[in-house]
């Protein structure tokens, strides 16, 4: 098999390199703080309330970022092999467990940063049944504590949730779920204060929440413009880092300034009529996590077919997932954000409702859906979403691949599969 | 009538409605053409035949079906059924989802009780009827007969959907001890506290304290060690299906428990849920060695 060749993606915005450079510098700074200075820090899932840690000035390492970091260094196969050698089934969920695999491999010579030091705690929402087991064992392996957070059931099923999430979040995300998450976050703050000696700064938290609205507002504005623009000014390979990197630092001065800069550069390209490809004939939607080990995949059919991936969830999600009218209740607003971040991306009717709406908004010609074979959570909702998109006139290709496991990814085969699909469905 | 489709749903509540129909019945080996179009591969294998039966109207005689947040497939299937009904692709009874929170914090216990109370109100189960059901079920628990004749083989791991593994054990002259999916969904567990004045809260505590499932925080390796100590089996078969994504994380620890027990054991992982992959023959070969 010709596996991932880790092809680079082509970048057009100056701010993309700046974001990448910032994150690289941040990585060094984070390493200095947690490894050299031995500051208290936490390992957290992406859908946990990072805002609390920011308000307490407690460094966090996001599991998904750490997984992507390990994957980008081409270490995922090695660590997953080590898991199997340790007796774990080879089909265990990959996305959540790469960090655990790295810890269990216990190989400071190959591990990024020589391996992570002992964190103050690990924090994860129980969005699928493997998470508490993975994080429980990871915490045990690191001789620290795991702070799980519930993923409460959701009865108020509004397919058009994204139209109301900013102003009417109390109803959309259900008052009892929000109240529950607020209580859990208060418990989290209490434990963090007790373990680190750092205090939760309410005024700083409020300011962060306001700044996040400003930051994500810029991203949302740019996403709206990208949806309307022909050609698409930038590919998803540039949308992702310019959304995600500031999102890791959400609410900071740098993040707000970068989001504004990104929006401005997107608008400049739109005004100048510049496209990610000068050959845009097809607008594609990518559904699923990014294929971190082969970012060049997304631009591989631009020249031959004029097929441009114009949509992935990260950038347009900024609006409905992050923007909240605070209404004097920033903790409630944050709870509404945390309580459903995963659910809206992986469960009907929220996932399919939003994806179909987004496909229409962005003039999508066809969609490609990632279907990780060993990850129920990442698979979840994809078939009903594919069906809904097809009903809306958008042809859908589902590909079996994993976002961090390069072993089952073959760049050439995947590109050929997409090309064949587009031709077969008469799109190309 | 009201049926269930998941674990940790207190039977007392359903008995109190006088409309309890038991767990949803389905043929695990049936073809599932429509359900397979809707459900992804990692759903637990019982979900497809259940949904197929639902889609063809097999549950139309029911009024409601209660799914459980204590199992990921059960809770996820609830959302799928709701969506399929919304889009007019299936009909059938009203799906409900009982939220069950199990983290060791008061917030989770409070939520479990609150959501159970909502459900009991929705199902119009009175406190008196629930209290009576608790008393009746506790009596049933006390009268339950444990123990079987003959040398026992403990089949543990994933719940079984048919009797193929148990039949293989019997064919070698042993007595199988296993948990089927039906057993799991209807397990009475420990007694529920009586006479508290708040029977819903008592049931909520019972749900919250059940920590052995995929969303529980009990240590499966310790649970296995306890099972071995209680049953004193002649042999252990640890069988996990391909779709198991939760308990499989404890396989290394469970192997260690088996090794330490000194009891003959066979570990079968990533196996076909219907045991059509040669697992019965492997068990027979293993047990023939044990018998010798």
B211-247 tens-digit pLDDT: 988 889 999 999 999 999 999 999 999 999 999 888 8
Banded pLDDT at B150 (limits 50, 70, 90): low
Distance (Å) from the alpha carbon of B84 to chain A's nearest alpha carbon: 9
Residue A381, SS3 per DSSP: coil
Closest chain A CA to residue B270: A89
- pLDDT at residue B153 is higher than 50: yes
**Architecture of the domain defined by B150-291:** 3-Layer(aba) Sandwich (3.40)
Across chain B, mean pLDDT equals 95
DSSP letter (8 states) at residue A406: G
**In chain B, which residues have their Cβ closer than 8 Å to the Cβ of A92?**
245, 248-249
Chain A stretch 161-190, residues whose beta carbon is closer than 8 A to a beta carbon of chain B: 176, 180, 183-184, 187
Q: Is A386 left (phi over 0), alpha (psi -120 to 50) or beta?
A: alpha
Contact, B40 vs A380, CB < 8 A? yes
Banded pLDDT at A4 (limits 50, 70, 90): very low
Query: Can you give the pLDDT at residue A375?
Result: 75
Query: Can you give the pLDDT at residue A2?
Result: 37
Nearest to A89 among B38, B42, B248 (CB): B248
Q: What are the pLDDT digits (tens) for A291-333? A: 767 878 888 888 899 999 999 999 999 999 999 999 999 999 9
E-strand stretches of B114-256: 152-157, 175-177, 235-241
**Architecture of the domain defined by B2-128:** 3-Layer(aba) Sandwich (3.40)
Residue B233, SS3 per DSSP: coil
Dihedral Cα B209, B212, B214, B218, nearest 10 deg: 90
Q: Do B86 and A375 touch (CB under 8 A)?
A: no
Banded pLDDT at A93 (limits 50, 70, 90): confident
Tell me the ipTM for this assembly. 0.94
How far is the C-alpha of A241 from the C-alpha of A238, rounded, in Å? 6
Q: Where are the domains of chain B?
A: 2-128, 150-291
**In chain B, which residues have their Cβ closer than 8 Å to the Cβ of A128?**
72, 245
Query: Can you give the pLDDT at residue A405?
Result: 65
Closest Cα to residue A356, out of A308, A394, A317?
A: A394
Higher pLDDT, B72 or A6: B72
Banded pLDDT at A3 (limits 50, 70, 90): very low
Query: Can you give the pLDDT at residue A1?
Result: 36
Query: Can you give the pLDDT at residue A72?
Result: 80
Across chain A, mean pLDDT equals 93
Contact, B79 vs B51, CB < 8 A? no
Pick the most confident of A281-290, A402-411, B95-104.
Answer: B95-104
User: Nearest 5°: phi and psi at A308?
Assistant: -115, 125
- What distance lies between CA A103 and its chain's CA centroid? 22
Q: Do A128 and B41 touch (CB under 8 A)?
A: no
Contact, A370 vs A396, CB < 8 A? no
How far is the C-alpha of A352 from the C-alpha of A162, rounded, in Å? 11
How far is the C-alpha of B207 from the C-alpha of B120, rounded, in Å? 14
Chain B stretch 196-225, residues whose beta carbon is closer than 8 A to a beta carbon of chain A: 214-215, 217
Residue B158, SS3 per DSSP: coil
Higher pLDDT, A359 or A10: A359
H/E element holding B230? Answer: helix B220-231
Nearest to A157 among B82, B243, B245 (CB): B82
Contact, A422 vs A282, CB < 8 A? yes
Mean pLDDT for A49-53 is: 98
- If you count DSSP H runs as helices and E runs as strands, how many of each does chain B have, helices first? 12, 8
Closest chain B CA to residue A90: B270
Contact, A40 vs A57, CB < 8 A? no
Percent of chain A past pLDDT 70, that is, above it, reads: 96
Q: Is A27 on the interface with B (CB under 8 A)?
A: no
Counted across chains A and B, CB pairs separated by less than 8 A come out at 116
Closest chain A CA to residue B81: A348
Higher pLDDT, B50 or A70: B50
User: Nearest 5°: phi and psi at A416?
Assistant: -65, -35
Nearest to A153 among B39, B69, B242 (CB): B69
Beta-strand relationship, B94-98 and B152-157: unpaired
Mean pLDDT for A80-101 is: 86
**In chain B, which residues have their Cβ closer than 8 Å to the Cβ of A348?**
79-80, 82-83
How far is the C-alpha of A305 from the C-alpha of A302, rounded, in Å? 6
Q: Is A380 on the interface with B (CB under 8 A)?
A: yes
Query: Can you give the pLDDT at residue A372?
Result: 83
Higher pLDDT, B100 or A95: B100
**In chain A, which residues have their Cβ closer than 8 Å to the Cβ of B40?**
371, 376, 379-380, 382-383
Residue listed under structure tokens 């390979």: A237
Mean pLDDT for A155-180 is: 97
List the single range of A91-100, A187-196, A267-276, B209-218 with lowest mean pLDDT. Answer: A91-100
Higher pLDDT, A4 or B142: B142
Chain B stretch 70-129, residues whose beta carbon is closer than 8 A to a beta carbon of chain A: 71-73, 75-76, 78-80, 82-84, 86, 97-99, 101, 103, 105, 107-108, 111, 114-115
Rg (CA), chain A: 21
User: Nearest 5°: phi and psi at A122?
Assistant: -110, 140
Mean pLDDT for B52-69 is: 98
Query: Can you give the pLDDT at residue A296?
Result: 83
Q: Is A156 on the interface with B (CB under 8 A)?
A: no
**In chain B, which residues have their Cβ closer than 8 Å to the Cβ of A149?**
103
How far is the C-alpha of B134 from the C-alpha of A318, rounded, in Å? 49
Nearest to B249 among A134, A157, A376 (CB): A134
- pLDDT at residue A52 is higher than 50: yes
pTM for this predicted structure: 0.95
**In chain A, which residues have their Cβ closer than 8 Å to the Cβ of B249?**
88, 92, 130, 133-134, 137
User: Nearest 5°: phi and psi at B19?
Assistant: -130, 25
Mean pLDDT for A230-240 is: 93
Q: Is B248 on the interface with A (CB under 8 A)?
A: yes
Cis peptide before A164 (omega within 30 of 0): no
- What distance lies between CA B129 and its chain's CA centroid? 25
Q: Is A334 on the interface with B (CB under 8 A)?
A: no
Closest Cα to residue A232, out of A173, A165, A279?
A: A279
Query: Can you give the pLDDT at residue A68?
Result: 82
Residue to mutate among A101, A126, A133, with most B CBs inside 10 A, is: A133
Q: Which residues pair with A285 in a beta bridge?
A: A311, A367
- pLDDT at residue A91 is higher than 90: no
Q: Do B251 and A132 touch (CB under 8 A)?
A: no
Nearest to B245 among A136, A155, A376 (CB): A376
Contact, B169 vs B175, CB < 8 A? yes
């Amino acid at each position: 098999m010709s596996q991932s060749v880790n092809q680079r993606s082509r970048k057009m915005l100056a701010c993309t390199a700046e974001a990448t450079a910032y994150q690289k510098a941040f990585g060094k700074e984070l390493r200095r703080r947690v490894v050299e200075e031995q500051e208290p820090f936490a390992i957290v899932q992406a859908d946990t309330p990072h805002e609390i840690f920011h308000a307490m000035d407690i460094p966090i390492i996001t599991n998904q970022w750490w997984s992507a970091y390990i994957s980008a260094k081409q270490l995922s196969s090695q660590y997953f092999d080590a898991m199997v050698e340790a007796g774990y089934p080879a089909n265990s969920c990959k996305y959540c467990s790469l960090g655990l695999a790295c810890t269990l491999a216990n190989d400071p010579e190959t591990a990024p940063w020589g391996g992570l030091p002992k964190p103050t705690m690990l924090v994860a929402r129980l969005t699928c049944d493997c998470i508490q087991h993975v994080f429980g064992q990871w915490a045990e392996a690191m001789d620290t504590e795991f702070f799980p957070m519930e993923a409460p059931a959701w009865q108020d099923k509004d397919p058009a949730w994204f139209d109301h999430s900013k102003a009417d979040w109390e109803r959309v995300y259900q008052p009892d779920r929000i109240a529950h998450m607020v209580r859990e976050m208060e418990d989290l703050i209490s434990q963090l204060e007790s373990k680190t000696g750092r205090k939760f700064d309410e005024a700083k938290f409020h300011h962060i929440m306001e700044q996040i609205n400003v930051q994500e507002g810029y991203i949302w504005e740019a996403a709206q413009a990208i949806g309307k623009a022909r050609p698409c000014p930038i590919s998803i390979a540039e949308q992702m880092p310019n959304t995600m990197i500031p999102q890791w630092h959400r609410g900071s001065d740098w993040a707000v300034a970068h989001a504004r800069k990104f929006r401005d550069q997107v608008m400049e390209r739109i005004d100048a009529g510049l496209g990610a490809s000068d050959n845009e004939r097809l607008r594609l939607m990518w559904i699923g996590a990014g294929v971190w080990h082969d970012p060049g995949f997304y631009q591989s059919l631009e020249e031959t077919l004029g097929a441009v991936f114009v949509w992935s969830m990260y950038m347009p999600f900024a609006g409905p997932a992050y923007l909240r009218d605070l209404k004097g209740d920033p903790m409630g607003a944050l709870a509404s954000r945390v309580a459903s971040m995963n659910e809206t991306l992986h469960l009907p009717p929220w996932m399919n409702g939003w994806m179909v709406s987004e496909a229409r908004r962005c003039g999508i010609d066809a969609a490609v859906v990632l279907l990780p074979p060993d990850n129920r959570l990442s698979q979840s909702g994809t078939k009903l979403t594919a069906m809904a998109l097809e009903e809306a006139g958008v042809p859908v290709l589902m590909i079996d691949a994993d976002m961090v496991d390069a072993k089952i990814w073959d760049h050439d085969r995947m590109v050929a599969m997409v090309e064949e699909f587009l031709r077969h469905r008469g799109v190309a | 009538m009201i049926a269930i489709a998941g674990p940790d749903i207190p039977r007392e509540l359903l008995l109190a409605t006088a409309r309890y129909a038991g767990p949803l019945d389905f043929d695990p080996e049936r073809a599932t053409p429509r359900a397979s179009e809707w459900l992804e591969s990692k759903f637990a294998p019982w979900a497809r035949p259940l949904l197929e039966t639902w889609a063809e109207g097999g549950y139309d005689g029911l009024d409601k079906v209660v799914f459980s947040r204590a199992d990921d497939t059960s809770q996820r299937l609830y959302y799928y059924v709701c969506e399929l009904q919304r889009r007019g692709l299936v009909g059938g009874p009203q799906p409900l989802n009982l939220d069950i929170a199990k983290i060791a914090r008061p917030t989770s216990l409070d939520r479990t009780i609150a959501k159970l109370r909502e459900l009991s109100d929705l199902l119009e189960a009175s406190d008196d009827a629930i209290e009576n059901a608790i008393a009746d079920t506790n009596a049933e628990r006390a009268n339950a007969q444990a123990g079987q004749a003959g040398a026992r083989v403990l089949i543990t791991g994933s719940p079984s959907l048919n009797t193929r593994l148990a039949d293989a054990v019997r064919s070698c002259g042993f007595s199988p001890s296993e948990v089927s999916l039906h057993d799991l969904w209807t397990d009475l567990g420990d007694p529920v506290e009586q006479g508290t004045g708040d029977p819903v809260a008592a049931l909520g505590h019972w749900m919250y304290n059940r920590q052995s499932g995929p969303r529980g925080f009990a240590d499966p390796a310790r649970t296995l060690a306890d099972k071995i100590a209680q049953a004193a089996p002649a042999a252990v078969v640890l069988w996990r299906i391909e779709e198991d994504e939760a308990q499989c994380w404890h396989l290394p620890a469970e192997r260690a428990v088996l090794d330490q027990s000194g009891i003959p054991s066979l570990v079968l992982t990533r196996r076909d849920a219907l045991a059509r992959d040669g697992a019965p023959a492997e068990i027979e070969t293993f047990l023939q060695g044990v018998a010798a």
